[in-house]
Amino acid sequence: MTANAGQIEYWNGPSGEKWVRNQAIMDASLADATAGLLALAAIRPGERVLDIGCGSGETSLLAARTAGQVTGVDISKPLLALARHRAEGVAHLRYVEADAAHHAFAQEHNLLLSRFGVMFFDDPAAAFANIRTAAARGGRLAFVCWRAVAENEYAAMPFGIAKPLMPPLPPADPNVPGPFALSDPDRLRGILSGAGFSTIGIGKLDGVMRMGATAEQAGIQATSLGPTARALAKFDDVVRARVLVAVTDAFRSYPVTDGQITCRLACWLVSAKA
Ligand SMILES: C[S@@+](CC[C@H](N)C(=O)[O-])C[C@H]1O[C@@H](n2cnc3c(N)ncnc32)[C@H](O)[C@@H]1O
């Protein structure tokens, strides 16, 4: 099987389409992570930025406000189509459909950036070694990825409710490609140093994820993300409806603050010299 074939299928199928439909909601939800990442990245005017797993292009667009050239790379046709649409008129922003683990990048980027786009590689060590080849001399890496599911209420709460309502699942391996694949900081450090990165920084970012204004919106969002969404993708509409009702009910006891129900999110902010 082709490397990363499972992820290429996943992000070009219904899950990719769901991210397209929910782009505005997702970008608003992830505002804390985005702000943390951009502060870490400290993009300087004129820099060349590679946005890895750029999806629908939020961080590419934000980087393009300062950078001299931004290239977003992704494997998802539907997300890239939306990213290109959002970038109309931005001359120094372009998108490439390619697998970042294998693409022959020009060695010209000052910053290798990613918001939640680098946890999906079959062979993360080889993928990060390839990504490193995209850096210009003195280039740097800055990305944000998830800490463990248990620390992320937005993922742990709905999954805890969903689990008894779904057919049994095999035990989850936290290191398989997926949102939480880089959650172990020792493993993450080993992958990056093995790939040739140095001066590796792994710091905590704690924030909130905005889940929506109502329990109904929060229920939809919580079942569209993370381990609950991935598990539900395996089951039929009856199971999905049952889980959605239960998760929505759980959100009825959550306070609405400044018009939003929120859940705790927990990320790693990762930096390194390439
Ligand atoms: C969780 S989404 C994040 C998207 C975007 N960075 C954002 O924050 O909205 C993960 C993204 O990584 C992309 N991706 C997964 N594996 C990839 C690979 N091997 N090469 C390039 N992109 C990849 C997916 O297609 C998807 O767009």
**CA nearest ligand 1 atom 23, residue:** 53
Q: How far is the CA of 249 from the centre of ligand 1 (A)?
A: 31
**Tokens standing for residue 204:** 């905590």
* pLDDT tens profile 103-123: 999 999 999 999 999 999 999
**For residue 255, what are the CA distances in angstroms to 211, 216, 219, 222, 260?**
11, 13, 14, 16, 8
Q: What is the mean pLDDT of residues 60-72?
A: 98
Q: How far is the CA of 256 from the centre of ligand 1 (A)?
A: 31
Q: What is the mean pLDDT of residues 182-187?
A: 98
Q: What is the mean pLDDT of residues 15-37?
A: 93
Please name the residue that has the structure tokens 């990320």: 267
Give residue 170's pLDDT band: very low, low, confident or very high (50, 70, 90): confident
pLDDT at 119: 97
Q: Is the pLDDT of residue 172 over 90?
A: no
Q: How far is the CA of 155 from the centre of ligand 1 (A)?
A: 18
Cβ atoms of 234 and 15 within 8 Å: the answer is: no
Q: Is the pLDDT of residue 2 over 80?
A: no
Q: Is the pLDDT of residue 71 over 70?
A: yes
Which ligand 1 atom lies nearest to the CA of residue 23? 9
Q: What is the mean pLDDT of residues 136-160?
A: 97
How far apart CA 253 and CA 240 sit, in angstroms, is 21
Average pLDDT of the chain to the nearest whole number: 95
* CATH number among 3.40.630.30, 3.40.50.720, 3.40.50.150, 3.40.1080.10, domain 5-273: 3.40.50.150
Domain boundaries, the chain: 5-273
Cβ atoms of 199 and 254 within 8 Å: the answer is: no
Which ligand 1 atom lies nearest to the CA of residue 4? 19
Pocket test for ligand 1, best of 2, 4, 11 (most atoms within 8 A of CB): 11
pLDDT at 1: 58
**CA nearest ligand 1 atom 13, residue:** 53
Q: What are phi and psi of 42, to 5 degrees?
A: 40, 60
Give residue 31's pLDDT band: very low, low, confident or very high (50, 70, 90): very high
Whole-number percent of the chain with pLDDT over 70: 100
Whole-number percent of the chain with pLDDT over 90: 90
Give residue 226's pLDDT band: very low, low, confident or very high (50, 70, 90): confident
How far apart CA 94 and CA 125 sit, in angstroms, is 27
* pLDDT tens profile 76-103: 999 999 999 999 999 999 999 999 999 9
Cβ 99 under 6 angstroms from ligand 1: yes
Cβ 51 under 6 angstroms from ligand 1: no
